[in-house]
Amino acid sequence: SQTIHQWPATLVQPVGSPLSLECTVEGTSNPNLYWYRQAAGRGLQLLFYSVGIGQISSEVPQNLSASRPQDRQFILSSKKLLLSDSGFYLCAWTRTGQYNEKLFFGSGTQLSVL
Amino acid sequence: AQKVTQAQTEISVVEKEDVTLDCVYETRDTTYYLFWYKQPPSGELVFLIRRNSFDEQNEISGRYSWNFQKSTSSFNFTITASQVVDSAVYFCALIEHGSGNTGKLIFGQGTTLQVKP
């Protein structure tokens, strides 16, 4: 069976510090991978998606970036965090070529930038 | 452009009451898929249902039921005899066939349901 792992679960970082959130998927190959952000009291906003290694599409201009160094690994990064980067970050995957199937979500990372 | 609207920000009911969560969507695509997800306090989104645009049959799963009406572009979710464990944020979402292989799901803002004992 497939599983998705996301870490850390919580993170408190000062403004201007770097960020690295990691997500890995097991039990499948060449998944579509996604990073969503959920600001407090708001819906989910798609940040990045990837349909293959090294292929990253950005949905929202910001100081965040994403990378996919391996087939089942998706990393969200920032060189310098802003206060506005606080939120709940969710990684998700779906089977390649299956655009209409449900997304499988990780357990999320609560990021607080102080 | 595609859009999903969940006008109810918060709903509070007493246990055993029925509750309906509204979802209205906008899309220009004739082929699309609608979803409902549940986000309990733990944070992880849990898939509840997927419905394609060619299937307007209502669906029932235990205490959950969904009413899909293309004429009003709505995909409403009803919980019958609500329980405290139903307390969560519920998201309606849409994906268009025109999104290709990207799998870009567009979410509504979510409805927070509180079920009081």
B50 with A94: Cβ contact below 8 A: no
Would you place residue B1 in the very low, low, confident or very high pLDDT band (cuts 50, 70, 90)?
A: confident
- Residue B72 has φ and ψ, to the nearest 5°, of -110, 5
**How many Å apart are CA B117 and CA B111, to the nearest integer?**
19
Q: How many CB pairs under 8 A join A and B?
A: 69
- Amino acid letter, residue A56: I
pLDDT for position A103: 87
* Interface residue B64 vs chain A (CB under 8 A): no
Q: What is the pLDDT of residues B53-85, one digit of tens each?
A: 988 888 888 999 999 999 999 999 999 999 999
Of A5, A32, A15, A28, nearest to A90 (Cα)? A5
Mean pLDDT confidence for A63-79: 95
Q: Is the Cβ–Cβ distance between B62 and B82 less than 8 Å?
A: no
pLDDT band, very low/low/confident/very high, at A40 (cuts 50, 70, 90):
confident
Q: Write down the pLDDT at residue B84.
A: 96
Q: Which of A89-98, B23-32, B86-95 has the lowest mean pLDDT?
A: A89-98
Task: Give B11-65 pLDDT, tens digit per residue.
Answer: 999 999 999 999 999 999 989 999 999 999 888 899 999 998 988 888 888 999 9
Is the C-alpha dihedral spanning A64, A39, A37, A58 positive or negative? Answer: negative
Report the DSSP pairing between strands A109-113 and A10-13.
parallel
Residues of chain B in contact with residue A107, where contact means CB-CB under 8 angstroms, are 42-44
**Which of A14-28, A41-55, B33-47 is predicted least confidently?**
A41-55
- CA dihedral (B64, B68, B72, B77) in degrees, to 10, reads 10
Which residues of A make CB contacts under 8 Å with B? 32, 34, 36, 42-46, 49, 51, 57, 59, 88, 90, 92, 94, 96-108, 110
Q: State the pLDDT at residue A61.
A: 66
> If you ran DSSP here, which 8-state letter would residue B31 be given?
S
